[in-house]
Amino acid sequence: MKMLKIVAFKLGEEEYGLDINHVQSIERINHFTRIPNAPIYVKGVINLRGNVNPIIDLRSMLNLGQAQYTEHSRVIITKYEDIELGLIVDQTSDVIDVAPEAIEMVSSSSFDSDYFGGIAKIEGRLIILLKLAELMKVSTD
């Protein structure tokens, strides 16, 4: 199997990762337009280079508490199939190559694994890999 390239980012003290093939860009948090009656984790929409993208607070969506936006906070613009979505994260770290043997699958009994595709163990770091397709399902329902 070939190496997986991920974009690593933080939510609180924990590190997470997304397949770089689904990442369009990483942006600073700018003004977004709120949407009435949207779920609490939907912060609004932004117009980015002519495309209107919904913005999701990933901390809120994963029940990790309310985010405090800082100068380190970023929006990761993702695309899966035809859907573009912005994910607010506390900060981005780096792009990492992950060997398939460095990924340990999670057992569904330990926590809700719908969003999680495994944990990458890299140089003493544990990076929780997210399944973008599952996040998209919830955010577009």
Q: Please write the tens of the pLDDT for every residue from 49-86.
A: 888 899 999 999 888 887 788 999 999 999 998 889 99
Please give the chain's pLDDT, 141 residues, in tens: 688 999 999 999 899 999 999 999 999 988 889 999 999 899 999 988 888 899 999 999 888 887 788 999 999 999 998 889 999 999 998 999 999 999 988 765 455 567 888 899 998 899 999 988 888 876 655
Whether residue 19 contacts residue 140, with contact meaning beta carbons closer than 8 Å, is answered with: no
Q: What is the pTM of this model?
A: 0.88
Q: Per CATH, the architecture of 4-140 is what? A: Beta Barrel (2.40)
Which are the contacts of 131, defined by CB distance < 8 A and separation ≥ 6?
114, 115, 116, 117
H or E element that contains 85 = strand 83-89
DSSP 8-state class, residue 29: -
Listed in sequence order, the DSSP H helices in the chain are 58-61, 132-140
What is the per-residue pLDDT for 65?
A: 84
What is the per-residue pLDDT for 34?
A: 92
What is the per-residue pLDDT for 111?
A: 55
